[in-house]
Amino acid sequence: MCGIIGYTGSLVAKDVLISGLKRMEYRGYDSAGVAVQDGEGLHLAHRVGKVANLEEAVSGGFSQGTCGIGHTRWATHGRPSEQNAHPHTACADDFAVVHNGIIENFAALKEELIQAGHVFSSQTDTEVVAHLVEDAYQGDLLEAVRAAASRLVGAYGLAVVCAAEPGVIVCARKDSPVVVGVGKTGALVASDLVALIDETRDVVVLADDTFARLSYQDGRGSIRFCDAQGREIHPEPTHVDWDISAAKLGGYPDFMLKEIHEQPRTIRDTMAGRMVNGHLQFDELSLSVEELSAIDRVYIIACGTSYHAGLVAKNLIEAWSRIPCEVEVASEFRYRNPIVTPSTLVVAVSQSGETADTLAAIRDARIKGAKVFGVTNVVGSPVAQESDGVIYIKANKEISVAATKSFLGQVVALTLMAMLLAQVRGGLTINQIRMLFRELADTAGQVEQILADTSAIDAAAQACKDAASALFIGRGIGSTICYEGALKLKEISYLHAEAYAAGEMKHGPIALLHDGFPVIAVATKSPTYDKVISNIQESKARGALVVAIATEGDTEIANHADHVIYIPKVRDCFSAITASVPLQLFARSIAIARGCDVDHPRNLAKSVTVE
């Protein structure tokens, strides 16, 4: 939701902080700020909007101190303004705090602190932390943060500095990611290791209710860890073998386009090592064959794009292993007492691995005795930590707020999981699985083919860019990716879009159609192809402008649609992979034509770590 960073070392802190904040800007871009410590105390700067505004503000005579904290915000409590931008200070500017998460009991704490004489200057929940630390401080910042944290209810990743302890940063974590590491020039903390990776690849992912004290002395950074009782702990570092190029544009105009082009590699990497001696291999799933065989229901829980990947998987799981599978948005699942038993398999899908609703749903499911598999892109993320087994999609860092390569990675991982269930339960023969595996691998090349010529997609986008609304229709797997196509269009171009199972058109949505109204139809060759053609004809009869995603070699469709975007022929069960790519490019092309910032859509952040 927000990005926090802290640095103590030999470099000018503001430069390290700004560069880290830029990399974490996908987490929020309502405002940004830094607090830098030097011999004269703490120096603060806040700006509304992107990190570039803050960078400009500190480019002149700002403190050259070598210890500081920074923040990029996605507003929850208090509108985006300089006043509400982090870091927040207490009554005097002696303590500064950056925070990612939500302090649920902040109103009661604020009231108590005001009664005790504290003066507040923002509407945020975070400011109470600064005042609590100020109250508790008796010469030891770590102890003061620990005491303050014991009063907090909610989620937090915190980094705190104080004027009285030069070169020291204290961090705390509860349900919000915090990563720390000692690098080449000092010690660092951040919400995401993307901000640390230039300095070190050996990091510690803080566990819940633990604390870290970062310092820099005699040319060396060091970190001390303790638990909520103040007992020293020694967590194991994790080595990160990530490709840093993921955090750079590498010649592309935006991360969304870059990440769309990384999809063939995502497919290959997610599949790598999964077929061993002709059998599917998932060593990291901790369930035995007996336990897998006993599963009588699958729930896929997720949000947004990850939910759409779940919709695709439902079709495959039910078709191949005949296990009933329900897909549910996590924010509903967690509040409605679903039928979950010890023989239920819950699959939690989350690119970031930190979506609050998905995490809460995982916890609920485990309390009810279900086994939980996580499917995530982020190693060591809360979803990975809290699941019984985890499959990592190998999409590498995804920066653009609009999920693209992670969607394809999720679809591939879930397809493999569906094959695994079918392998265990005998729904598919070994030969069928091997053949499907080969065809799944072939989709990487087919996506490359789509990416090689996007002229038909751009032409269709030009024709639709000025519309006020658009309808996406399809059937079967085709309908599932319509939901994803419509979401992509909405979130990056602000053009209203709705997805419908094409068979439902006549039950209401057809009333929307008029001359020139864009209908995007997924009409690939499938068992329901003829039905979709009928729906296209019905749309044309009402004056709609039809864009069809169709299978190469289908000349018939050109008689019905205004624009045809051809994609290579694949088996229907893999059509979500190929057909979603033109929908991503279509949405981006419209967004660019409408002058939108595709990587930073308004009101959004990459990870939703609050309810």
Q: For residues 454 and 580, which CB has a smaller minimum distance to ligand M6R in the complex? A: 580
What the block records as the tokens of 338 is 């679903």
Q: 563-567 and 220-227 as β-strands: parallel, antiparallel, unpaired?
A: unpaired
Would you list the DSSP string of 456-493? HHHHHHHHHTT-SEEEEEESTHHHHHHHHHHHHHHHHH
3-state secondary structure 322-364: CCCEEEEEHHHHCCCCCCCCCCEEEEEEECCCCCHHHHHHHHH
Residues that bind ligand M6R (CB under 6 A): 303-306, 350-352, 355, 358, 401-403, 491, 604, 607-608
DSSP H helices, 228-322, are 255-261, 263-271, 289-293, 304-321
- Which residue number, 496 or 507, has a Cβ lying nearer to ligand M6R? 496
Smallest distance from ligand M6R to CB 355, Å: 3
Q: How far is the CB of 304 from ligand M6R (least distance, A)?
A: 2
Residue length of the chain = 611
Longest dimension (CA), the chain: 79
Taking a C-beta distance cutoff of 8 angstroms, is the pair 310, 349 a contact? yes
CA dist., res. 91 & res. 117, Å (int) = 9
Strand order in the sheet with 297-302: 325-329, 297-302, 344-350, 371-376, 389-392
For ligand M6R, the closer CB: 113 or 346: 346
Is 72 or 355 the residue whose CB approaches ligand M6R more closely?
Answer: 355
Would you say 27 or 146 has its CB closer to ligand M6R? 27
Which residue, 200 or 350, is less far from ligand M6R as judged by CB? 350
Is residue 314 annotated as a catalytic residue, yes or no? no
- Which two structure tokens, joined as six digits, stand for 69? 């904290």
Looking at the Cβ atoms of 144 and 608, the one nearer to ligand M6R is 608
Tell me the two tokens of residue 262.
């990384």
> Alpha carbon of 21 to those of 32, 77, 131, 235, 385: distances in Å?
8, 21, 25, 26, 25
Could you give the angle at which helices 455-464 and 575-593 cross, rounded to 10 degrees? 50
Q: How far is the CB of 611 from ligand M6R (least distance, A)?
A: 12
> Which residue is closest to ligand M6R by CB?
304
Q: What separation in angstroms does the CA of 490 have from each of 86, 293, 460, 487?
A: 30, 41, 17, 5
* DSSP one-letter code for 207: P
| Single-letter residue type at 544 | A
Q: Which of 314, 371, 394, 606 is catalytic?
A: 606
| Residue 22 bears catalytic tag | no
CA-only gyration radius of the chain, Å:
25
Cα 248 to Cα 6, 21, 50, 150, 195, distances in angstroms = 21, 14, 17, 39, 12
Out of 2, 67, 162, 325, pick the active-site residue. Answer: 2
Q: How far is the CB of 373 from ligand M6R (least distance, A)?
A: 15
Which amino acid is located at 599 in the chain?
A: D
SS3 (DSSP) at 398: coil
We find the least distance from the C-beta atom of residue 95 to ligand M6R, in angstroms, to be 32
Cα end-to-end distance, the chain, whole Å: 11
Compute the least distance from the CB of residue 179 to ligand M6R, in Å. 17
How far is residue 193's CA from residue 148's CA, in Å, rounded to a whole number?
Answer: 26
CB of 350 to ligand M6R, least distance (A): 3
Taking the least distance from each CB to ligand M6R, the nearer of 192 and 491 is 491
> Tokens 């990399």 label which residue?
23
Cβ proximity to ligand M6R, 265 vs 600, nearer residue: 600
CB 47 to ligand M6R: min, Å: 25
Encoded amino acid at 150, one letter: S
- Comparing CA positions, the residue from 352, 450, 331, 447 lying closest to residue 401 is 352
Task: Supply the residues annotated as catalytic.
Answer: 2, 606
